[in-house]
Amino acid sequence: MGVAVRKNAAAFGACAALLANLFLVAQAGAQPVERPLRPAPPGGIPVIPFHEGWYGNEDGSVTVSFGYHNRNESVITIPRGENNLLEPARFDGMQPEIYHPGRHHGVFAITIPAELADGATVWWRLISAGQELKVPGERGSTAYELDRNPRPQGSLQPLIGFGEDGAMGSGPEGIVAGEVLRTSVNQPITLEVWTDDPSVRDRNDPRFRRPLDTRVSWYVHQGPGEVTFAAHESMPLLEARQLPAAARLAEPQIANTVVEGEGPARVNASFPEPGEYLIRARLDNWNASDSDGLDQCCWSNAYLRVQVQ
């Protein structure tokens, strides 16, 4: 009897497997089967907005960091407006319009004043490829709380600004240039930022016997057209393939090396179309083993305004 039961069970299992295979074949003939691990298509899937986390500030305000993931192989443009906005409207304006392929962490941040910090939610809404996606930014779960404390080996958010003796900012919110640079279509202009890495590391550690180099990567953040970057005569450019893995999270990018973490970074830029542009310069110290974009440390943004006629 036991043998008969096992034979019947085996026969039933074989029949079930056959039916399942026939069902999958029928489904495959009716519609394509989704394969999440297949390469990204060149276009046609939505850009995903991300709430990276929030910082509690000493004055009671809250700074909320946002990023995005463009799973397409090509750059996607979503102009600010009804398809790309922050709500309430008072916080709208710093979100990107140009979305480069890949996962980009902390591309901008907004600060919610202290009087609103405990109850306000800032929504970032994107509509692309026919789909609406939105994400809330707020003081919420401590699982999303970020900090500006030194990392285990001393890494901190580096400082970036617009002039050797000018004001500097740090973190995802960074600093926005007050001056508007002006140029003409296809007339190259030099973009420049000044940097300093305040990280304090143990010089007895052989990894830190001398200050580490930092890096400035250049991105088009907002604007009506593509921008061509070229090396400035004072310093070479690094291409994305030359960067270490931690800095290749967000391609395409071109970057300068800032020797020993202090000094200027420069690049020449040409604009093919007239209009207003916002260029993001991201300064990072990811040469240190305790600093990485994946753990939300340690980089800072600077935004340069360019008016092209």
- Taking the domains of the chain in order of start, what are their residue ranges? 48-144, 150-308
Which run of H or E residues covers position 18?
Answer: helix 2-30
Which of 11-20, 155-164, 233-242 reaches the highest mean pLDDT? 155-164
Verdict on whether the full-model pTM lies above 0.85? no
Q: Calculate the alpha carbon distances from 298 to 129, 146, 175, 287 in Å.
A: 32, 11, 15, 10
Residues 76/131, Cβ–Cβ less than 8 Å: no
**Fold observed for domain 48-144:** Immunoglobulin-like (2.60.40)
Is residue 208 helix, strand or coil? helix
For 178-204, what is each residue's pLDDT tens digit?
999 999 999 999 999 999 999 999 999
Q: What share of the chain is helix, strand, coil (3-state, %, to 5)?
A: 15, 40, 40
Answer whether 48-144 and 150-308 agree in fold.
yes
Between CA 9 and CA 123 the distance in angstroms is 55
For 115-150, what is each residue's pLDDT tens digit?
998 889 999 999 999 999 999 999 988 999 999 999
CATH number among 3.30.470.10, 2.60.40.10, 3.40.50.11540, 1.20.1530.20, domain 150-308 = 2.60.40.10
